């Protein structure tokens, strides 16, 4: 945890941005995997973590916007808790650690909420994303799931998003620590890859490094020779000469901050000329996009800039044609680059998306497009100084998608379907960096991780 003052100040800032009422934050509980006592690793709700720093199940926080009073709610440790989970700070200690004014039991919370409701005070809560939280809200507020899914507080979500979007220096520092671990994860992948190895051998090594770093993976690692399957979480394939590995992996820091890095590398340590051509298209697209990112410039424009560069390179190898701006405007490039340029990152790898993806990524100035490809851009609005984002262009040859578009003759004035057969089993390439938006541009966070072709090839040769 950070010092209590950090959490007190964060709550004070939240209080200032709200009009009144009570804020109720519901912490996460354990989540059973296959029976009650065999649980997924515990992950605290990120907003609860942001305002308290406490990573323990079954807690609530209430913040009174009028009196500025904060109470941490939970149960006292029982001897059973201590026997099975060891000695740990009790509720009063936890209250002190997060700078709360008071601690309350669950039954006292019920009384407080009943009192607030009888006084017709607004109780603000965030939209729940876990069934356990939905049940708790149903019990505490006497609202059906349908009602509380509708009545969650727009005002609170908006205040939280505004506050959590701008990272404090200590948060950037945490992200950089997570990136330090991720550098080791990627280098380990590059150093250990060789023909005959199985994806699972490298995936296991990578996950072990995340645990050795003191946290865990920030999300399930992608480590595959089928990088064209965008969220491929299988690791059972053997790596052979000529294959490319897409490794998309991130660690979480001890305080729960994420990193999210992708590199693509050749199994035999040397890119073929076809692989190098597509790799350079993606690398130049990443560099081009980075040069456009600055406060007040929409991320959607950066996405489109990345798409134009990829289109230009695909034209040079003869698989696309026509006017580049028109081609990007109709979305022809999305056959090869069907996802978004990036997303916000912080305590969550896709930061705050539980509060509403559009709510985080779009506003009155920039609306989400419905066009194939662009619709998958998770963050489109202009960032401000202090935002942390990922930038992750990619180029993929997805056979079922190519077949579908070819049959439909979709965008055939821009796509040379007759030239695509030799690329059929290419797979995919993605390169991903994490950036901090500065006053006049952006900077790549974390230690350098091989990205230029000679550096990647050197790392792969150990």
Residue 134 vs 451, nearer CB to ligand GLY: 451
CA–CA distance, 311 with 330 (Å, rounded to integer):
12
**Tokens 């506003």 identify what position?**
363
Interface pattern 341-360 for ligand GLY (x via CB under 6 A): --x-----x-----------
Residue 243 vs 433, nearer CB to ligand GLY: 433
CA–CA distance, 241 with 14 (Å, rounded to integer):
55
Residue 243 vs 348, nearer CB to ligand GLY: 348
- The conformation of residue 290, written as its DSSP 8-state character, comes to H
Task: Indicate which single residue of 112, 174, 199, 260 sits in contact with Mn ion (rule: CB under 5 A).
Answer: 260
Cβ contact 386:329 at 8 Å: no
3-state SS class at 262? strand
CB of 432 to ligand GLY, least distance (A): 6
Residue 45 vs 432, nearer CB to ligand GLY: 432
Residue 298 vs 390, nearer CB to Mn ion: 390
CB of 423 to ligand GLY, least distance (A): 23
CA–CA distance, 216 with 207 (Å, rounded to integer):
7
Q: Go through the chain and tell me how many residues it has.
A: 462
Number of H helices, E strands in the chain: 16, 15
Residue 53 vs 450, nearer CB to Mn ion: 450
* Residue 219 engages ligand GLY in binding (rule: CB under 6 A): yes
CB of 167 to ligand GLY, least distance (A): 18
199 binds, among ligand GLY, Mn ion, none (CB under 5 to 8 A by kind): none
* Residue 348 engages Mn ion in binding (rule: CB under 5 A): no
- The conformation of residue 44, written as its DSSP 8-state character, comes to -
* Residue 259 engages Mn ion in binding (rule: CB under 5 A): no
Sheet holding 442-444, edge to edge: 388-391, 433-437, 442-444
- Non-local CB neighbours of 445 within 8 Å, separated by 6+ positions: 172, 175, 176, 179, 388, 433, 434, 435, 436
Site for ligand GLY in 386-415 (CB under 6 A): 392
CB of 341 to ligand GLY, least distance (A): 11
3-state SS class at 12? helix
Residue 243 vs 351, nearer CB to Mn ion: 351
Piece of 4-12, 28-36, 259-267, 287-295 that binds Mn ion (CB under 5 A):
259-267
Residues binding Mn ion: number (CB under 5 A): 5
CA–CA distance, 413 with 77 (Å, rounded to integer):
68
Residue 62 vs 223, nearer CB to ligand GLY: 223
Piece of 31-39, 183-191, 252-260, 295-303 that binds Mn ion (CB under 5 A):
252-260
Backbone phi and psi for residue 285, each to the nearest 5 degrees, phi listed first: -65, -40
- The conformation of residue 415, written as its DSSP 8-state character, comes to B
* Residue 390 engages Mn ion in binding (rule: CB under 5 A): yes
Residue 425 corresponds to which tokens in the numbers above? Answer: 């089993």
Backbone phi and psi for residue 20, each to the nearest 5 degrees, phi listed first: 160, 180
219 binds, among ligand GLY, Mn ion, none (CB under 5 to 8 A by kind): ligand GLY
Site for Mn ion in 232-251 (CB under 5 A): 248
CA–CA distance, 309 with 382 (Å, rounded to integer):
20
CB of 125 to ligand GLY, least distance (A): 27
Cβ contact 278:285 at 8 Å: no
3-state SS class at 77? coil
Residue 333 vs 343, nearer CB to ligand GLY: 343
CA–CA distance, 461 with 228 (Å, rounded to integer):
24
Q: Which of 437, 203, 230, 231 is nearest to 336 (CA)?
A: 230
CB of 249 to ligand GLY, least distance (A): 8
CB of 222 to ligand GLY, least distance (A): 7
Site for ligand GLY in 247-276 (CB under 6 A): 248, 260
Residues forming the site for ligand GLY (CB under 6 A)? 219, 248, 260, 343, 349, 392, 432
| Residues at the contact surface with Mn ion, assessed by CB under 5 A | 248, 260, 262, 390, 432
């Amino acid at each position: 945890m950070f010092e209590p003052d950090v959490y007190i100040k964060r709550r004070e800032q939240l209080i200032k941005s709200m009009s009144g009422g009570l804020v109720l934050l519901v912490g996460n509980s354990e989540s059973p995997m296959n029976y009650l006592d065999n649980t997924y690793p515990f992950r605290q709700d990120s907003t609860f973590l942001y305002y308290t720093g406490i990573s323990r199940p079954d807690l609530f926080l209430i913040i009174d916007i009028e009196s500025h009073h904060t109470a941490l709610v939970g149960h006292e440790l029982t001897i059973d808790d201590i026997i099975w989970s060891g000695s740990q700070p009790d509720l009063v200690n936890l209250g002190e650690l997060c700078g709360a004014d008071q601690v309350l039991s669950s039954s006292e919370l019920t009384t407080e909420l009943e009192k607030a409701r009888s006084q017709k005070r607004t109780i603000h809560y965030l939209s729940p994303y876990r069934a356990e939280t939905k049940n708790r809200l149903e019990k505490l507020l006497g609202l059906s799931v349908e009602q509380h899914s509708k009545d969650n507080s727009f005002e609170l979500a908006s205040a939280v998003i505004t506050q959590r979007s701008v990272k404090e220096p200590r948060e950037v520092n945490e992200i950089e620590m997570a990136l330090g671990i991720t550098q080791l994860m990627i280098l380990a992948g590059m150093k250990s890859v060789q023909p005959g190895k199985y994806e699972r051998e490298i995936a296991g090594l990578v996950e072990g490094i995340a645990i050795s770093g003191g946290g865990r993976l920030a999300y399930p690692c992608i480590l595959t020779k089928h990088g064209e399957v965008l969220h491929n979480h299988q690791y059972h394939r053997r790596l052979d000469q000529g294959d490319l590995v897409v490794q998309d992996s991130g660690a979480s820091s001890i305080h729960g901050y994420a990193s999210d890095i992708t590199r693509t590398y050749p199994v035999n340590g040397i890119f073929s000329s076809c692989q190098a051509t597509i790799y350079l298209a993606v690398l130049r697209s990443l560099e081009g996009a980075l040069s456009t990112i600055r406060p007040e410039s929409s991320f959607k424009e950066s996405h489109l800039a990345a798409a134009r560069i990829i289109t230009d390179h695909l034209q040079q190898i003869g698989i696309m044609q026509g006017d580049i701006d028109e081609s990007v405007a109709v979305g022809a490039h999305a056959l090869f680059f069907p996802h978004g340029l990036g997303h916000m990152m912080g305590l969550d790898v896709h930061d705050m998306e539980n509060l509403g993806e559009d709510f985080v990524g779009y506003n009155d100035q920039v609306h989400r497009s419905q066009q194939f490809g662009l619709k998958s851009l998770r963050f489109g609005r202009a960032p401000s100084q202090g935002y942390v984002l990922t930038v992750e262009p990619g180029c993929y040859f997805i056979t079922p998608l190519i077949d579908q578009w070819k049959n439909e003759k979709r965008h055939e004035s821009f796509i040379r379907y007759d030239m695509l057969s030799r690329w059929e089993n290419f797979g995919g390439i993605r390169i991903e960096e994490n950036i901090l938006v500065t006053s006049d541009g952006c900077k790549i966070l974390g230690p350098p991780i091989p990205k230029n072709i000679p550096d990647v090839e050197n790392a792969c040769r150990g």
